[in-house]
Structure formats: structure tokens, C-alpha cells
Structure 1
Amino acid sequence: MKNLLLTAPLACLLAGGPARAQTPPVGAAAPAPYHLLSTVAIGGEGGWDYLSVDPAGERLYVSHGTQVEVVDLSTHKVIGTIPNTPGVHGIEVVPAAGRGYITCGRNNTCVVFDLKTLQPIGAPIATGPKPDALLYDAFSKRVFLFSNDGGKSTVLDGATGTVVGTADLAGDVEAPATDGKGTLFVNIEDKSEVIALDANTLAVKSRHALAPGKEPTGLGYDPKTNRLFSACANEKLVVTDSKTGRQVAVLPIGKGTDGAVFDPSTGNVITSNGASGTFTVIHQDSPSKYRVVGEVPTARGARTIARDPKTHHLFTCTADYGPVPAPTADNPRPRPSIVPGTFRVLEYGR
């Protein structure tokens, strides 16, 4: 796709400000950078949140209501289920310890499970309010359970599950990333910030505003160029220099995003947009230049995303929607109903 707006972004960069989105010529079309490779039918009932790829075990873990579905990536078959995870949000594995961790937002706990048997290890661990995203940081050998309410996030020893501390992040946390050298980056949804966290001391090292981005959710990271990619609820992707906090670029993305990944093999940033039913694909031409290269059709509700670092395939999940229930005093803005038996995983590749 040709770029018709070179002068303004260049001037903006020279002035130290962020470059705005590049607009393709009217009538220009480009082939979709990714296409649907397979659909894994799972069925059942309930909502969903994060997916997590375990490349060492060749498994995909998928949150689903009150349980986690385990998919074999070589056969594309469901090979197991981890039950009793009410309000499940995220799943993270620690292969060296042979265990995995699951955040359960409905009862403020973390379930620990055995990677071989998928059986629970001990009793659920109490966490901060509304545990949501989580991350295993190999540098500190810790699992961070990020709370989406109240700012207090629980930190565990990755090998034992022992609580080793609490990080006060002063905000509602969404997706994290790690530089692998002792620093974590986290989106703060209610304050529209991205922060840097010391993985050992648990101190907040810096806070950077994401305006004009609002309510950031998904977070991608490129350690080579020190770039953070915050996908925001107001249909903007904000690119930030992780070292300085300087805002590098702001680009348009689809509606209802809740996930973002960066693929170093292609230089692509991909956001998953549940309301639009698309992936927005943005290419990193250089550390200071980005452009939207395509919108890939997915499905309504496919708002989260996971990337397999081996195959570079992308995974998302959704189900069919039924009618919206009538509003009640307890639920004045009800969500559409989910058609039972239609839950599925979608796999995309180039």
C-alpha cells in the first residue's frame, strides 16, 4: 500500500511528537496479511477471555466460563479440561516447574495445576480483587497475578506457588509484557497509562500517559526496538518507547479490542477487535514508522489473541450470539446471549 502522507508524520517525528496513522489511497486494496487456517469446535456454554500458547508442550489453553479447555496444537483436538475455575481469565505455564497458573476473577483465587495430569496442585491461592491477566517472568522466576480492581497485584514464586509479595500499581491492570531483564510493562486501564515495574523489588519505576489512547487493554512488546504497543478501547493503538516513555505513533484499530501481539518474524503488530470482528494488522517499517496494512475478518466476539512463537500462527476464540435479554434493575445493560454449543477457536496464518 502506498503512503500519501509522508511529510506530516516526518515533521511530527522531528518535532519529538507521535506520528499519526498513514492513510491508504482511495480505492487501494491489499491482500489480507493472514487467513483462516482451521477452526477447533469446542462447544459447551459460558463466556471466554484469554488464550495462552505453550510452545514447549504444543498446547493451547483457552479460558471458557468456569473451566479451561486444553487443545493439542498438533492434532487440533481438545485433549482435556481443567474444571473449577470460576470466572477464569488468564492461563500461564511454567514448564520448568511442571505447573500452570489460572486466574479466577469470580472468587479472587489462582488455581495451580499439573501440566502432565491437568489436576490441581493444592488448594486455590487467595489473590487481590478481580485477578485478570497474569505473566510468568523467567528472569525473576515469578508469576504476577494482575488485579483489575484496586491496584493490588499478587506475586508468586513460579516454582512453588508461594506468595512472595504484593505490587501496588495504583490502578486497574490489564495486559502485561516483560523485557526478560527484570522489568515488566503493564497497561493501567482506568488511568490510561502504561507503567514499568521492577520484577524483583515490585516498585513502579515509571508511568507514562497514553492519551489520546483511552482504556488500554492488550499490550504487545518488541524488545529489539524497545517499543510497547497499547491497544485502547477508543480504537487507537499507541506506540511508546519503553525506555523513555516517548510516544512514537498513534494508529487506528478496530472496535472492542482486548488483545495485541507483536511478531518479530514479520514486524507486524496485530490487535484483536471483538466488536468489529477483525484483526487490525500494523507493520513496523522502522522503530519510528508504522502503517496499517490490513483488516483481517475474524468473527464477532473474537476480542483476545495469542501467538505461537514457533509457527507464528494467531489464535482467537468466539461463539455465536443470540438475542439480548431484557434489562433488569440488577443488569440494566445486558450482553447478548451466547448460543450453547457454538464456542470455537480460530487459527490464522500467513
Structure 2
Amino acid sequence: MKKLFCSGLFAALVSMAPAAAQAAPLYHLVQTVPLGGGIKWDYLHFDAASNRVYISHGTELTVVSAGTGGVIGHVTGLSGSHGVAIDTASGFGFADSSKTRTISVFSLKTLAVSKTIPALEDADGMVFDRPSNQVFTVGGDANALLAVDATHDTALSTIPLGGSPESQVSDQAGSIYVNINDKNELVRISTKTDAITARWPLPGCEGPVGLAIDTVNHVLFSSCANAVMAVVNGDTGAILATLPIGKGTDSADFDPARKLAFSSNRDGTLSVISEVSPTKFVTLPAVQTAPGARTLAVDETSGRIFLVTAKVVSAGPPRHPGGAPDYAFAPGSLKLLVFAPNS
């Protein structure tokens, strides 16, 4: 059924003209999980090995079973939680605290913190690179990337980036890619030498934020503050496409099973980009989610998409000209939204 869904419905949507815009929604809401706690949330991480979703917010990580939607527990004692990285093989996870400039190492079994590691100023997104056994954490205000030895829980090197980094992804084959938000650039870094190997401009992309990767075809998807997604060749830096997305993007992800890239947006939409081929990309009809649902994670097996938002109490001026409103949220109203494909 999944293969039929991919090759049938999505291929039809791509090939059909205006009628595609009237097609049934690609995804539907199947579950809402109350989370409570701090409402200043950031990245989500789906771990396929444990079938868990990790949600960073406020002073904690909330861990949710992707199968049942039940809250498994919390990693506590954080301060300005933004990112999380999971090393299933070792049984440990890593969570950053931007206010204290630290990384907390915690047990995946008990969720208890066993060690803290100094991090960079404005510690933000994180990624675990399995081949090099390193955790990489961006420091937005530090204009740098920190590499941490995941075995010994020690900082290895600080990599200057020449600008303010946002999201990062690993190709799990020797390279890390990082969006440079204030320079409108994409940087490639070797995980063997922890040195920059390429720096590419992103013409037409203002303020790159979210970043996703198709590791098979080496295609990168950079979501931008001016409501476009730049599709980039990960070997050459060539721009393959620039496609419209929703307003207020803060995260991107890729579903390799269905060849779909996503941007989650503050305006309450989920933008969907179909990778028809490694050189052809088409925007599919957006999915209506909820205002403020700006970060996401994808389960490539089930195709489910996880987003976080909270109850809106007011809407202020956009953070960027022409962007989505800057919402204020009710305390304690944080919730996880689970969307499933309409297969």
C-alpha cells in the first residue's frame, strides 16, 4: 500500500494540472498529545530504533512513544533547551542548554543526566554523525560549530563558520552541512578533519533556517525566511530548484521512503516538495496544521509527521517582513500533533 501511495497518488498530483490543487489533503491529523511544561519549544527528533519522539522545550526534553502517544518521561535540568541528538548504539543522548552553554549527556533508558560538557554561546541544533562518532552542535552567537567525541563525552574542536549557523544535517558518509543564516550560505564540513570543504551561496534564499537531506541522491533542502525552499546539489552546491513554501519556516525534514521534503511553518501550514527525480522537484498542495507549528520530525516507516505548537492567545507583528505573525501562547498548553498520510 505504501508503494502504491507513493507512485500512484503523488505521481498523479505532480503530473496533473490545476486539478491537483483541488485534491484531497495529503495528510490528516490522527492524534494530539498534551505535553505541558515550557512553551518555548524548538527542535523535535524522531528515533526510529526506539520509536520515540524527543521534544526540546524550556527546561526539559519530553519523550513520547510514537506508537501510543504516551509520555515516557522527561530529561530535566536543562536551561534553554533547543536540540537533541541520539546515539542508540551507546545508549546515550545529548541535549543542549543555551543559557548555560552546556550539553547534557543522558541515559536513553532512565533519561537521567550523567554528565555535562561545555558548549558554545547560543547552543542550538544538534546532530549525531555515526561514522565519525561525533555530535555536532551549532553556536548561533558563537558563529561556530562544536564537535564532541560521543564515546568520551569531550569537546574535540570548534569550527569557525564565518556567520551565524542554524540547522545542520549529516549525510552519514563523511560530511556535515550547515545553514549560515545571516550570510545566505550553505557550508560543508568534513567529519574526518572537522574542517570546511565547501562554502556555497544560496541565491534567492534569504535567511536559511531549516535543512533536510536526501542522503541517497545527495540533495539538500534549505527552507528560507522569504518563504522559499532552495534545493541544492550536495556535491557541487548547484541550485537545483527554488520553490515556494509557507511563511515562518523554522524546520525542514525529508522522507526518503516517499521522496518528500517538508517545511513546517508558523502560518499553520506544512509545505510539501516532491522529489520526482534527483533533478526535478515539484511543490504539492500544502497541509493545514495549526498556527505556530514551526518544527517537525518525520517517521519514514509509517510516514507520520510530528509537529509541536500551543494554544494561541495573541498574534503580533511578523519577525520578518511579509512573514507569519509572531504568536503568543498560553502557558502549559504545549502539544504534539501527529499527522498520517492519506494512503
CA shift in 2, pair 1:2/1:43, >3 Å: closer
One-letter amino acid of the structure 2 residue matched with residue 29 of structure 1: Q
Is 1:55 matched with 2:48?
Answer: yes
Is 1:289 matched with 2:280?
Answer: yes
Matched residues in 1 for 2:289 and 2:215: separation? 28
Matched residues in 1 for 2:180 and 2:97: separation? 20
Q: Which residue of 2 aligns with 1:98?
A: 91
Residue aligned with 1:293, SS? strand
Matched residues in 2 for 1:215 and 1:30: separation? 32
> Which of 269, 275, 285 pairs up with 1:278?
269
Q: Deviations over 1:239-286 (max 9, x none)?
A: 111111111100000001011111121111111011x10101111111
Structure 1 window deviating more from structure 2 (334-343 vs 199-208): it is 334-343
Give 1:46 shift: 2.7
Q: Which residue of 2 aligns with 1:109?
A: 102
Unaligned segments of structure 2, at least 5 residues? 1-12, 317-324
Q: Which residue of 2 aligns with 1:219?
A: 211
Number of equivalenced pairs: 322
CA shift in 2, pair 1:233/1:84, >3 Å: same
Question: How big is the alpha-carbon RMSD for the aligned residues of Structure 1 and Structure 2?
Answer: 1.9
Is 1:252 matched with 2:239?
Answer: no
Q: Is contact 1:217–1:233 with CA below 8 Å preserved after alignment?
A: yes
CA shift in 2, pair 1:253/1:103, >3 Å: same
Matched residues in 1 for 2:22 and 2:114: separation? 52
CA shift in 2, pair 1:346/1:324, >3 Å: closer
Q: Is contact 2:39–2:310 with CA below 8 Å preserved after alignment?
A: no
Matched residues in 2 for 1:67 and 1:149: separation? 22
CA shift in 2, pair 1:336/1:282, >3 Å: closer
Matched residues in 2 for 1:324 and 1:293: separation? 28
Give 1:312 shift: 2.3
Q: Which residue of 2 aligns with 1:83?
A: 76
* Structure-2-length-normalised TM-score: 0.89
CA shift in 2, pair 1:324/1:348, >3 Å: closer
Matched residues in 1 for 2:186 and 2:37: separation? 36
Greater strand proportion: 2
Q: Is contact 2:292–2:327 with CA below 8 Å preserved after alignment?
A: no
Give 1:107 shift: 1.8
> Which of 3, 18, 38 pairs up with 1:45?
38
* Structure-1-length-normalised TM-score: 0.87
Is 1:153 matched with 2:145?
Answer: yes
Q: Deviations over 1:108-132 (max 9, x none)?
A: 111111111111112x211111010
Q: Deviations over 1:167-225 (max 9, x none)?
A: 11121111111121111111111111111101121111001111101111111111222
Matched residues in 1 for 2:263 and 2:170: separation? 18
Matched residues in 1 for 2:48 and 2:242: separation? 31
Residue aligned with 2:329, SS? coil
Give 1:80 shift: 0.8
Moved >6 Å (runs of 4+): none
Give the share of equivalent positions with the same residue, in percent: 36
Q: Deviations over 1:315-343 (max 9, x none)?
A: 11000122469xxxxxxxx9543212321
From the CA coordinates, give the structure whose radius of gyration is larger. 1
> Which of 273, 284, 289 pairs up with 1:298?
289
Is 1:229 matched with 2:255?
Answer: no
Give 1:140 shift: 0.5
Q: Which residue of 2 aligns with 1:183?
A: 175
One-letter amino acid of the structure 2 residue matched with residue 277 of structure 1: G
